[in-house]
A and B are shown apart, each in its own frame.
Chain A
Amino acid sequence: DIQMTQSPSSLSASVGDRVTITCRASQGISHYLAWFQQKPGKVPKLLIYAASTLQSGVPSRFSGSGSGTDFTLTISSLQPEDVATYYCQKYNSVPKTFGQGTKVEIK
């Protein structure tokens, strides 16, 4: 099975900072990658699919890039409401594995 590895596992940044999270697949998955945001006690929320397509209603400060094995989620200007754990997920085939998550906090 394809493994998904995120880095870093956690980060702390200031409001307004640019934040970058990386997700690496152990084999190529083309563009079949999604990013989710999960706040404590809440349902995971789809942010990005097809590696770079923003889900409707998601603020434009979120963006995604990459293809093949290496992917990036960027928050261009971190806001207090962005405090959450972010997960990547590959969906080209089953099992549709999630990354282990990146916890984002405000410094």
Chain B
Amino acid sequence: EVQLVQSGAEVKKPGESLKISCKGSGYSFTSYWIGWVRQVPGNGPEWMGIIYPGDSDTRYSPSFQGQVTISADKSTSTAYLQWSGLKASDTAMYFCARHDSTGFGDYWGQGTLVTVSS
């Protein structure tokens, strides 16, 4: 069974760094892209970027380029989303999703709520 399990909710202060995770199981982790999606409460989902764990090829949405870093560790079948200096506007739910070979998200993680507040 394909599963993506994300790390737990985080509460951080502005300026702090953060790395959240998404662990895949039940499939060949290195053979599928994994993407990240942001959803601010009350708003629609926003596609952030995607990584191919097999070779770490990474693509970002222009809206998120330079704002976050996406990475993956093949040895632990885990993808990551990180910030070096959080802002209050980063407060949102973040989802990871495995992408089918043609490019759509077929399996999703349960989401990680990130709250940034002073």
Contact = CB atoms under 8 A, between A and B. Distances in A.
Interface of A: 1, 32, 34, 36, 38, 43-44, 46, 49-50, 55, 85, 87, 89, 91-92, 94-101
A89 B62 contact: no
A10 to B, nearest CB: 13
Contacts of A50: 102
A95 B105 contact: no
A49 B104 CA distance: 7
Interface of B: 35, 37, 44-47, 49-50, 59-63, 95, 99-100, 102-106, 108-111
A101 B44 contact: yes
A95 B63 contact: yes
Contact of B102 (A55, A91, A95, A100): A91
Contact of B62 (A49, A95, A100): A95
Nearest to B50: A94
With most chain B CB atoms within 10 A of its CB, the pick from A43, A85, A99, A101 is A43
B46 A98 contact: yes
Chain A binding surface SS class:
loop
A46 B45 CA distance: 13
B108 A92 contact: no
B47 A98 contact: yes
Closest 3 CB pairs of A and B: A95-B61, A91-B103, A34-B104
Nearest to A55: B106
Contacts of A99: 44
A94 B61 contact: yes
Nearest to B109: A43
18 contacts: A32-B102, A32-B103, A34-B104, A36-B45, A38-B45, A43-B111, A44-B45, A46-B105, A55-B106, A89-B104, A91-B99, A91-B104, A92-B103, A94-B47, A95-B47, A96-B103, A98-B44, A101-B44
Nearest to B35: A96
B44 A94 contact: no
Contact of A43 (B44, B102, B108): B108
Given A38-B45, A44-B95, A49-B100, 17 more contacts: A32-B102, A32-B104, A34-B104, A34-B105, A43-B109, A43-B110, A44-B45, A44-B105, A49-B102, A89-B104, A89-B105, A91-B102, A91-B103, A95-B61, A96-B50, A98-B44, A99-B44
